[in-house]
Amino acid sequence: MRRDYKQIGLKCGLEIHQQLDTPKLFSGAPSYLRNDEPDYVVRRKLHAVAGEGGEVDVAVEHEAALGKEFYYEGYDDTISLVELDESPPRQINDEALDVALQIALLLNCEFYPVSQVMRKTVIDGSNTSGFQRTALIAHSGFVKTSFGKVKIDSVALEEDSARIIKREKDKAVYRLDRLGIPLVEIATAPEMESPEEVKEAALKIGEILRACRVKRGIGTIRQDVNISIKGHDRVEIKGFQDPRMFVKTIDMEIERQLKEIKNGKKKGEVRNALPSGETEFLRPLPGRARMYPETDLPLLKIEKKRIDRLKKNLPKLKSDIRSELKKTGLNDELIELVLSNSSALDEFLALIRVYNKDANLVGKMVSLWRAELARKTKKSFEEIFEILSERVYEKILLKVKSGELNKGHVKEVLARITGGEKLENALKVEKAGDDEIEEEIRKIVKEKPGLRENAYMGLVMKKFGGKADAKRAMEIIKRVVGDK
């Protein structure tokens, strides 16, 4: 039985945190994760600090009461003094800011011309400084879904936290490789009224993020959902990796909140999403008391000319690119293969301008056949890409376009090149003569009488492996079958 979400007053909002594929936000240090042994370990204790209003936030008090010690693992060549909190931050990274602004443009946002970088108190050990730097850059956007427009309340650019390695009762071990990686934080309005709407909005925002320069893989995107029903305060559920879990988890949280209301409880909190769809308590809900200005950095100014420059070079969404690929005649299977690899997409778009008569041939060359040849020759993809470069593909397609090479011979040419032949020799494909083709056709017709012409054609082409001209072979088949 479907639940009546409107009757219970369900309101949901999304917070999505996505790592950007640029240097670190306030140091310019490399932003990649390492698995080798660290060069050093630093030990710290963190203390609660009052926010701008002079009060200590309830979530900060909760963490301070745990009294933990924190150990930070670092590397001499990739961790800077900024990550160790031994040096003031540098100016915000321009590359990261450009990517964040592009994302905000694709989310139809308005921009703050001037913004203050803020410190958000965090003393769970995930920041060596005891705070996270964050800057609001845009507001009042939207994404379109089948449920209507979902409002985007804010887009912020902030630094990611350190990576947890081990937790114990009185201490936690973090690694500093993740600390400072740029994060874009997108917050929707808390107005979505069903789990399905939340899921669709998350997928749409995810499509926008993947069109931009962001990191890929597990842990590079983190999704939180704020949920409330009539009579219960907001609950923030953290740690979603898979949008497919939104519906189940939200439904289970509604049940939990309904039970709490029956027991006279309604207080909000932060909870962690579990793989089962259930959640567990993490900490009290934080408030605004933990925010205060970053005094080591000037105001962040976003000029109109910068926005205008980025507007001219906005990346295309996958859904838009898919429509464009469809128009070229590329079939659905090849569209997905081409879209799954950015270099294959770039090659396809370049090569289809060289030879636009058969998009599926070009699609197979840049995706399917290249992968097949890598497996057959046991060469790495790097080696295959070097051997079968875009320039090689261009020369082959020009031969097809001029009629010097039958498109049915292209795969054979590619195989010969990966086998070590030079391009010039591989392009010299010997075609079967009419007499040889007719002899084989008469043999096949005699062995398998009564087949349709197309069936005979398939057997002939299989026999000659592309060395027979298809049009000429069909003419001979029709004549031979007619003689019978």
429-450 pLDDT, tens per residue? 666 667 778 888 888 888 888 8
Over residues 286-314, the mean pLDDT reads 91
pLDDT at res. 286: 80
Q: What are phi and psi of 178, to 5 degrees?
A: -85, -25
Contact call for residues 239 and 273 (beta carbons, < 8 A) = yes
Q: If you search the block for the tokens 């590329």, which residue do you land on?
A: 330
Q: Identify which of 470, 476, 471, 480 has the alpha carbon closest to the alpha carbon of residue 449.
A: 480
- In terms of residues, how long is the chain? 484
Residue 131 bridge partners (DSSP): 121
Q: How many CA atoms lie within 13 A of 337 on its CB side?
A: 19
Q: Of 104-108, 153-157, 239-243, 351-355, which gets the smallest average pLDDT?
A: 239-243
Q: What is the pLDDT of residues 165-211, one digit of tens each?
A: 999 888 999 999 999 999 999 999 999 999 999 999 999 999 899 88
Phi-psi region for residue 191, left (φ > 0), alpha (ψ -120 to 50) or beta?
A: alpha
For 323-343, what is each residue's pLDDT tens digit?
Answer: 899 999 999 999 999 888 777
Instruction: Supply the pLDDT for residue 475.
Output: 85
Position 425 confidence tier, pLDDT thresholds 50, 70, 90: confident
- Structural domain spans, the chain: 11-305, 318-426, 434-483
Q: Distance between CA 188 and CA 202 in Å, rounded? A: 10
Q: What is the mean pLDDT of residues 34-55?
A: 83
| pLDDT of amino acid 484 | 57
Give the tokens for residue 191. Answer: 């107005």
Q: What angle do CA 254, 16, 145 make, to 5 degrees?
A: 75
Provide mean pLDDT across the span 134-145. 97
What is the C-alpha to C-alpha distance for residues 314 and 310, in angstroms, rounded to an integer? 6
Share of the chain above pLDDT 90, in %: 61
Of 303, 300, 292, 291, which Cα lies nearest the Cα of 115? 300
pLDDT per position as a tens digit, 231-244? 999 999 998 877 88
pTM attached to this predicted model = 0.74
Are the C-beta atoms of residues 315 and 212 closer than 8 Å to each other?
A: yes
- Rounded Cα gap, residues 34 and 52, in angstroms: 36
The burial class, CB within 10 Å (0-12 / 13-18 / 19+), for 29 is buried
Q: Report the C-alpha gap between 100 and 184 in whole angstroms.
A: 6
Q: Which residue has the higher pLDDT, 460 or 40?
A: 40
Q: Name the band, by pLDDT with cuts 50, 70 and 90, for residue 396.
A: very high
